[in-house]
């Protein structure tokens, strides 16, 4: 199967207008179709790698499964992911997420900085990153994809497959935060989401309704807290 990186020959022009022959690394895209219990469910354009994690996370974020145990079998090949389910969960009642822990501002800054260190992003500059951290600051998993939504799906899929408690996980992302991105965190049970970019007003409303800590514009050591500020301990006081 083709990997996520493709090398091509290009002409690089320097500041003196001199053309130089060079080799560049570019991201490869793949259209993938998801089939659930033998029926076509939908398609997405993703970066190669982690197709099964993407499928599991996508189903979790849409409420089609509640745990990895709901999956009987999952396999991928070519441009197709096949899933057989053991069961489908009943529709869950919406409940705001509880606030059982807090983290320091230094952890937020550290993990935001790690987004820019993701391997494929450094090589191509053409990816979004979704990074999962523990409340102790351990990096649990990092997913890269051409789509920020797909990157989050892959991260959620990894949470499911690993059995790690989503309620004790923090999600850091490299792109903007619309409402549907927050809904992914709500469905997955992740109570903390932070980004280098901006949220929408509807995303903030959704985060506040779900008691999700939302941080945006995390750049240069500063950040905005839009929701559930009690999970972030600052140097002088806890908000």
Q: How many CB atoms lie within 10 A of CB 40?
A: 10
Q: For 191-223, how does the pLDDT look when each residue is reduced to its tens digit (9 = 90+)? A: 999 999 999 999 999 999 999 999 999 999 999
Cα(first)–Cα(last) distance of the chain, in Å?
50
> Cα separation of 207 and 118, whole Å?
26
pTM above 0.85, yes or no: yes
Can you read off the two tokens belonging to residue 67?
């745990």
> Cα separation of 57 and 182, whole Å?
14
pLDDT of residue 90: 82
Q: Find all residues with CB under 8 Å of 101, minimum gap 6, and list them.
A: 135, 168, 231
Percent residues over pLDDT 70 in the chain: 97
Residue 29 pLDDT level (bands cut at 50, 70, 90)? confident
- With 50 as the cut, is the pLDDT of residue 103 above it? yes
Q: How distant is the alpha carbon of residue 216 from its chain centre?
A: 15
Q: How distant is the alpha carbon of residue 37 from its chain centre?
A: 26
> Cα separation of 168 and 97, whole Å?
11
Domain boundaries, the chain: 103-233
8-state DSSP, 123 = H
**Backbone Cα Rg of the chain:** 19
- With 80 as the cut, is the pLDDT of residue 28 above it? yes
pLDDT of residue 213: 98
pLDDT of residue 123: 85
DSSP string, 172-207: EESS-B-HHHHHHHHHHT--EEEESSPBPHHHHHHH
Can you read off the two tokens belonging to residue 228?
């559930």
Does residue 140 contact residue 164 with C-beta atoms inside 8 Å?
A: yes
Domain made up of 103-233: CATH architecture? 3-Layer(aba) Sandwich (3.40)
Residue 6 pLDDT level (bands cut at 50, 70, 90)? confident
SS3 133: strand
**Among 98, 37, 94, residue whose Cα is nearest residue 64:** 37
> Cα separation of 19 and 9, whole Å?
13
Residue 238 pLDDT level (bands cut at 50, 70, 90)? very low
CA distances from 128 to 11, 137, 174 (A): 26, 21, 6
136-152 CB burial, b ≥16 within 10 A, e <16: eeeebbbbbbbbbbbbb
């Amino acid at each position: 199967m083709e990997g996520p990186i493709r090398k091509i020959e290009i002409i690089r022009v320097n500041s003196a207008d001199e053309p130089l022959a060079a080799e560049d690394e570019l991201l490869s895209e793949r259209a993938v179709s998801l089939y659930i219990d033998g029926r076509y469910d939908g398609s997405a354009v993703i970066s190669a790698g982690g197709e099964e994690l993407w499928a599991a996370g996508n189903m979790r974020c849409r409420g089609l499964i509640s745990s990895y145990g709901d999956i009987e079998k999952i396999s991928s090949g070519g441009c197709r992911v096949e899933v057989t389910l053991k069961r489908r969960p009943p529709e869950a009642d919406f409940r705001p997420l509880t606030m059982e822990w807090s983290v320091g501002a230094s952890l937020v800054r550290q993990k935001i900085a790690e987004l820019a260190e993701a391997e494929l992003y450094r090589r191509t500059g053409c990816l979004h990153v979704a990074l999962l951290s523990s409340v102790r600051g351990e990096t649990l998993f990092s997913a890269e994809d051409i789509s920020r939504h797909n990157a989050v799906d892959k991260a959620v899929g990894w949470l499911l497959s690993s059995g790690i408690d989503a309620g004790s996980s923090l999600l850091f992302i490299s792109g903007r935060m619309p409402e549907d991105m927050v809904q992914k965190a709500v469905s997955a049970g992740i109570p903390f989401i932070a980004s280098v970019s901006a949220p929408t007003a509807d995303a903030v409303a959704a985060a506040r309704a779900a008691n999700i800590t939302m941080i945006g514009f995390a750049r240069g050591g500063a950040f905005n807290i839009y929701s559930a500020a009690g999970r972030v301990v600052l140097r002088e006081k806890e908000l």
